[in-house]
Amino acid sequence: MPPRGQSLMKGQLRLVPSPLENLNVFSLVTFQLKSLSHRSS
């Protein structure tokens, strides 16, 4: 059962890569914004 669930999870991740990529980009942008604000202050 556990390995089957893992394979299902992997399949879902492969099916929906756009939302995950958007989250990654969003986190990167927020990190850059935070560093910029820290530099300006």
Chain length of the chain: 41
Per the rule left: phi > 0, alpha: psi between -120 and 50, beta: everything else, 2 is alpha
17-34 pLDDT, tens per residue? 677 778 888 999 999 999
Asked if residues 13 and 20 have their Cβ atoms less than 8 Å apart, the reply is yes
Q: What is the pLDDT of residue 27?
A: 92
pTM exceeds 0.85, yes or no: no
- pLDDT tens, 4-17? 656 666 666 566 56
Q: pLDDT above 70 covers what percent of the chain?
A: 56
Residue 32: predicted pLDDT? 92
What is residue 13's predicted lDDT score, i.e. its pLDDT?
58
